[in-house]
Structure 1
Amino acid sequence: MAAEIQASIVIVGGGIAGVTCAEQIASQFPSDEIFLLSASPLLKTVTNFKQVSKTLEEFDIEEKPSSDLENKFPNLRVVLSAVKHLKAKEHLVETESGQTFRYKKLCLCSGARPKLLIQENPLVLGIRDTDSAQEFQKRLSKARRIVVIGNGGIALELVYEVEDCEVIWAVKDKAIGNTFFDSGAAQFLIPSLQTEVRERTFSCKRARYTTGASPGGCSGELGSALGPDWHEGIELKGVQQSSTAVQIEYECEFEQIYSQQQLSHSGYSSEKSELGEWPAYVRLTNGKIYGCDFVVSATGVVPNTDPFLNGNDFELAADGGLSVNDHMRTSEQDVFAAGDVCSTSWEPSALWQQMRLWTQARQMGWFAARCMAADLLQEPIELDFCFELFSHITKFFNYKVVLLGKYNAQGLSHDHELLVRCTKGQEYVKVVLSGGRMVGTVLIGETDLEETFENLILNQMDLSPYGEALLDPNIDIEDYFD
C-alpha cells in the first residue's frame, strides 16, 4: 500500500472553483505543498480576467493540461485521480488510484453532474463536460432532427448554435430562458431563432486538448463543467442542409422515450407511419410524439456529493448541496466547499442569490482559499463584497446579457414595479423597482447601462421622482446620475 502523504491543504476538483482555489492558496503559501485532485487531466483555468465594474466581471475559460498549473506554481501538485473515500473525522482522503492524503484543510470543489432524464440510455445525451460536448458534435453531424429538453443556459445556447438540423425544443415554462429573464425578454430574443442566417460568435482561438484515460483508471469519471463558451470552436452541424427550424413546445416536459421496436408495442404503432422512421420517438407531457435521431437532456444539474457522504456527517441543503456557512465551511471540521457542489446557508444579502454559474464558481473558489488561509493563520475574515450583489454577464443568441440583483423580482412582494424599454433587434432593458428603489435589472444588447444601474442598486437611491423617465431613451441616464 502506498505511503500516507502529509498535506497542509488538499483541494478536490479540476473545474473553475477548484483551480481558482488552488491557484489562490498556492500563491499565498508558497512554501507549503498544495495538492489538487482532479478526475480529468484537463483543468479549467480562468484567463483574460477583467473587472468590468464593482461586482461585474468578465473572463474566458481555457482548458489546460495539469503541467501548466504545476509549472506556474512549483508548490502545487496535481493528482489525476478521483476521490474514492473521505474520512472527515480522521482528516483522510483516499483516491481511486490508491493514494491517501492526510490534510489540515480540505476544500471540496467537485462540481455537479447532469440531471439526466434517463440514465444509461444511448438515445439520451446529457451535455455537461468537454467530452460530452464532443460526443454531441459527433452525433449531430449525422442527425436530421433532435429533441432538446430543458430551459437553462446550455439549452438556450445549444438551440441557437445548431445548424442544418431540425430542433424540437420542449420547455416546461411559458417562455424560454425562464431562469435568466422574463417573457418580455424571451419575446425579444425569439426572432433571432427564426432568422435563416444567424450571427455566429467568432471561432474559438483557444487550444483544445483531447482527454484520455488518466492514471488511476478514472476515465469514466465526470469531467469539470463546461465554461460559458463551450460551443465555440465546435461545429454544431447536422445533415439537413439549409434547414435549421426550431419548434418550441411550451409548458411541457419529457414523458417517455421509445425505440422503433418499443413504439410498435406501445399502443402508438398506428402513428409510426405518420411519424416516419427514426431511431427514437419522444412523448411529451402535452401528448405530442416526435421522431428524432437522439434526445439532448439539458435539465440542470445536481451537486456531485456522492464520493464524500458515506461515513461522514455533512449537513446537506434542500437541493442536495453541501451546506456551507459564510466562511465556506461545511459541517465537518476543516472541510470547506466551493462552487456547484455546495449550497450557501447564511442569510444572504437582499440583492444576492446563489446560482450555479461559472462566475460564482470562480468567486467561491477564490473566497474559500482566503477563508482557509485565514483559518491557518488564525486571522478574522469578512464575507467578500462579491456576495453583496448578484451579477452575471453572459451571451445568448449573440446578444450580450447582463443580470444584476433581483433581476427577475425573485422573492419580492407583489408591490414591486417593472419598467421596460425595448428596441426590436437592438436592446431590451428591464428595471425592477421595490419601494421606489432599484433592486434588479436585465440588460440585453449593447446598452452601456450596467455600471450606472449597478451604482443605483448598490446606493439604494429613491428613484420615485423620476418615474418612467428613468428609461427615456432621450435622456442620458449615465450623465444624470454620475
Structure 2
Amino acid sequence: MAERKEKTFKFVVVGGGIAGVTCVEQLSSNFPSTDVALITAGRHIKAVTNYKQVSKTLEEFDVLERPSSVLEEKFPNLTVIHSAVKSLHTESHSVETADGRVFGYEKLCICSGARPKLLTQDNPYVLGIRDTDSAQEFQKRLSKAKRIVVVGNGGIALELVYEVEGCEVIWVVKDKAIGNTFFDAGAAQFLIPSLGADKLEVSAPCRRTRYTTEEPASGGAQTFTADATPRGQSSGTVGPGSALGPDWHQGIVLHGAEQVSRCVSVEYQCEVKQIFTSEDQTLKPESVGSWPVYIQLTNDKTLGCDFVVSATGVVPNTEPFLHGNSFALVGDGGLQVDDHMRTSEPDVYAAGDVCTACWEHSPLWQQMRLWTQARQMGWYAGRCIAADVLSEPVDLDFCFELFSHITKFFNYKVVLLGKFNAQGLGSDHELLVRCTKGQEYIKVVLSRGRMVGAVLIGETNLEETFENLILNQMDLTPYGEELLNPNIDIEDYFD
C-alpha cells in the first residue's frame, strides 16, 4: 500500500472489549520491552475486576469500564490508539485507522466483538442495547415511557424485563419458553413467577425425576403484575462500543413514567412482522390507542408502544477486515480460528465474539458468545501469540474442556455446565430434575449413565461436585434417581 506506516508494532490488538484487553495484558506483561498497540474506537476499555476462580473451570468476575490511560500506566510498553479500523492489509501487515493513520504489525489479534442484530436499521423508535451509550439512551427514553416492547430471548432481554419498573413491558419471544438460549422450559417455568412477584414464597422441596415440560399453548400470552398470579394462562401451565458487562443494569435507574412496580406480559412463539409509526394510519387498527410506534406480530396482534428494544442477538463484527483479504468465515459470520486462535491469514489471530472456534471441540464444550469465553479466548490468544514468537509449544487451554458459565437471572444465581441443554445429544439422554419453588431448580443431563451437563438455579452449592462428576465421567447408574434426593448430601457422597 502506498501510505507510509506511522509506526510498526510487534503486536497489535484491535478492540477494547474483554477479549482485546485481556489479550493486550497478556502480551504486554509477557514482553515488557516490546512495543504493543491496542486500537480501539472508544475512550474507555473493559477491564476484568474481582476475578475469582470458583472451581476448575468456573470463574466469576465483574466487568468495569475504565479510561484506557489505566492500561497505559500499568504497561509502559503499550500504546493505545483511539480510532476505529478502516481497513486491514494482511499482505503488507498493516492496519489503516479511520483517521487516516497506518500502523504496521508483526502479529495482529482481532478482538472487535459483535454488533447487535437490529430488527430494522433506520427506525428511530427501535433501540438496540449493546454498549454503555445505548444503555444510557435506553435509560433516558424509558424515563418517559409508559409501555415498551422487548423483542428477543437472550441474556440482555432476560435481564431487561426483570429490571424495568414503572412501565408496562410486552416481551416478544419466538420460542415456547423464555430464555431458551440458557435453559429449558422447566427452568423457564421456575423463573416465570419472579416477573410478577416482589418476594418469592419458599415451599418444601418437590421432586420430579422423570421430566415433562409444561408451557403455554402455541402463540399464547402470559401477563405478570407485581400483585397477581399469571393472567391469561392457557390451561396446563405452571406458574458499537464494546459490549456491556454482565451487571450492566446496576447503577442505572431503569424506571418508566408510571407508578406501577412491574408489569410484564409475554407473547410466545411469534416474531415481528412489521414496525410502523403513527403516521401510517392505513396500517393501524382502531383498537390499539395512540402510540408513537406500532409493532405487528406473526400472531396477527398489533401492539402500540413508546419504543421497541431489539435484543435479538449479535453478528460478529468482521466488516472492516474482510475487504481485500481472504479470511475463511463460518456460517455464523465469525472469523474461522484454529486451536491456536489463528485465522486463515498469516500472523492474524482472533478472539472473542468476532471469531468462531473451528477446532474439534471437546464433547462437553460449545462456543456461546459470552463474557467468560471472551476473557478465556483473549487470554489464550495472547498465550498462543507468545508461544509462536518464542517457538514454544502450547496446549489447548483446559477451559475448553468443559463449558461452564456463572450468571444471574431474575436475581437467582445461574450455573451452566457442559451440555446443559442436551445440545447435540439427540434422544440419547435422560434428565433428572429437582425443583423447590422460589428457591432452587436443579437439572442434570445424563448420557449412558454419565453426567454430561447441568443447570443450577439458586444457591445450590453443587457446582463443584457436578463439575467433577462431568469431568471424571463416573458411571452414575447405581445411584439412579437418588442422585438428586434432597435428603442425601451429594457433596459428601462424591468428595
Same-fold status (TM-score > 0.5): yes
Aligned to 1:396: 409
Does structure 1 conserve the Cα–Cα contact (< 8 Å) formed by 2:353 and 2:369? yes
Instruction: State yes or no: 1:335 paired with 2:348.
Output: yes
Q: Which residue of 2 aligns with 1:259?
A: 277
What is the CA–CA distance in structure 1 between the aligned matches of 2:474 and 2:494, rounded to whole Å? Answer: 10
Q: Which amino acid in 2 is paired with 1:238?
A: G
Q: Give the percent of matched residue pairs that are identical in Structure 1 and Structure 2.
A: 73
Aligned with 1:176: secondary structure? coil
Q: What SS does structure 2 have at the residue aligned with 1:63?
A: strand
Alpha carbons 2:444, 2:451 under 8 Å: kept: yes
Task: Give the CA deviation at 1:138.
Answer: 0.2
Tell me the CA shift for residue 4 of structure 1. Answer: 2.5
SS of the residue 1:90 aligns to: coil
The corresponding residue for 2:51 is: 49
The Cα offsets for residues 234-262 of structure 1, whole Å up to 9 and x where unpaired, read as 00000111252100000001111111111
The answer as to 2:388 corresponding to 1:375 is yes
Could you tell me which runs of 5 or more consecutive residues in structure 2 were left unpaired when the two chains were aligned: 202-239
1:96-115 Cα offsets, whole Å, 9 max, x none, are: 12221111100000000000
Partner of 2:147: 145
Residue aligned with 1:432, SS: strand
Rounded Cα–Cα distance in structure 2 between residues aligned with 1:353 and 1:443: 18
Q: Determine whether 1:366 maps to 2:384.
A: no
- Residue identity opposite 2:428 in structure 1: D
1:236 corresponds to 2:254: yes
Q: Report the residue type matching 2:125 in the other structure.
A: L
Aligned residues: 455
Which letter does structure 1 place at the counterpart of 2:340? H
Residues 200, 438 of structure 2: 8 Å contact kept: no
**Equivalence for 2:241:** 223
Contact 2:5 2:103 (C-alpha < 8 Å) held by counterparts: no
Task: Supply the distance in 1 between the matched residues of 2:433 and 2:297 (Cα, whole angstroms).
Answer: 34
- The residue aligned with 2:40 is 38
SS in 2 for 1:195: coil
3-state SS of the aligned residue for 1:89?
coil
Indicate which of 402, 407, 418 corresponds to 2:431.
418
In structure 1, the partner of 2:117 is 115
Please, which of 96, 103, 106 is the counterpart of residue 104 of structure 1? 106
2:480 counterpart of 1:462: no
1:166–1:243 Cα contact (<8 Å) kept: no
CA distance in 1 between counterparts of 2:260 and 2:169 reads 13
Q: Secondary structure at the match of 1:328?
A: coil
In the alignment, the residues of structure 1 paired with residue 200 and residue 475 of structure 2 have an alpha-carbon distance, to the nearest angstrom, of 41
Task: Give the match for residue 218 of structure 2.
Answer: none
C-alpha distance in 2 between matches for 1:107 and 1:47: 22
C-alpha change, 1:106 and 1:467, in structure 2 (3 Å) is same
- The one of 348, 356, 375 equivalent to 2:361 is 348
Structure 1 residue 198, shift from structure 2 partner: 8.7
Q: Residue 215 of structure 2 aligns with which residue?
A: none
1:133 aligns with 2:135: yes
Question: 2:61 is matched by which residue type in structure 1?
Answer: F
Shift of 1:415: 2.4
Q: Give the alignment partner of residue 175 of structure 2, picking from 150, 156, 173.
A: 173
8 Å contact from structure 1 (residues 2, 98) kept in 2: no
Q: Which residue of 1 aligns with 2:334?
A: 321
Output the amino acid matched with 2:359.
W
Code of the aligned partner of 1:170: V
Match of 2:236 in 1: none
Q: TM-score, normalised by structure 2?
A: 0.91
C-alpha separation in 1, matches of 2:474 and 2:199: 44
What's the counterpart of residue 287 of structure 1? 300
Q: Tell me which of 389, 399, 407 is aligned to 1:386.
A: 399
Distance in 2 separating the partners of 1:166 and 1:367: 44
Q: Post-superposition shift, 1:197? A: 6.2
- Stretches of structure 1 lacking an aligned partner (at least 5 in a row): 200-221
Structure 2 counterpart of 1:405, from 418, 424, 436: 418
Deviations, residues 309-340 of structure 1 (Å, cap 9, x unaligned): 00000000010000000000000000000000
**Structure 2 residue aligned with 1:250:** 268
Tell whether the 8 Å contact from 1:165 to 1:237 is kept in structure 2 after alignment.
Answer: yes
Distance 1:381 1:13 in 2: 24
Give the residue type in structure 2 aligned to 1:228: P
Structure 2 residue matching 1:118: 3-state secondary structure = coil
- Corresponding position of 2:30: 28
8 Å Cα contact 1:406-1:441 kept in structure 2: yes
Report the AA paired with residue 404 of structure 2: S
Deviations 1:68-87 (A, max 9, x none): 11001111111100101100
8 Å CA contact 2:5–2:94 kept in 1: the answer is no
Give SS of 1:420's match: strand
Q: Per-residue CA shift, 1:336-382, capped at 9, x if unaligned?
A: 00000000111100000000000000000000000000111011111
1:309 aligns with 2:322: yes
Q: Which residue of 1 aligns with 2:222?
A: none
Letter of the aligned partner of 1:18 in structure 2?
G
- Amino acid paired to 2:407: T
Structure 1 length normalisation: TM-score?
Answer: 0.93
The letter of the residue matching 1:129 is D
Partners of 1:119 and 1:260 in 2: how far apart? 18
**Helix, strand or coil: the match of 1:265?**
helix
Q: CA deviation at 1:389?
A: 0.1
Q: What SS does structure 2 have at the residue aligned with 1:261?
A: coil
Answer whether contact 2:169 2:263 (CA < 8 A) is retained. yes
Q: Is the 8 A contact 2:5 2:104 kept in 1?
A: no
Could you tell me which residue of structure 2 aligns to residue 428 of structure 1? 441
Q: Which amino acid aligns with 2:86?
A: K
Ranges of 4+ aligned residues in structure 1 off by more than 3 Å: 196-199
CA displacement 1:420-473 (0-9 Å, x = unmatched): 000000000000000000000000000000000000000000000000000000
Partners of 1:367 and 1:255 in 2: how far apart?
Answer: 42
Mapped partners of 1:50, 1:416: distance in 2? 33
What secondary structure sits across from 1:451 in the alignment?
helix
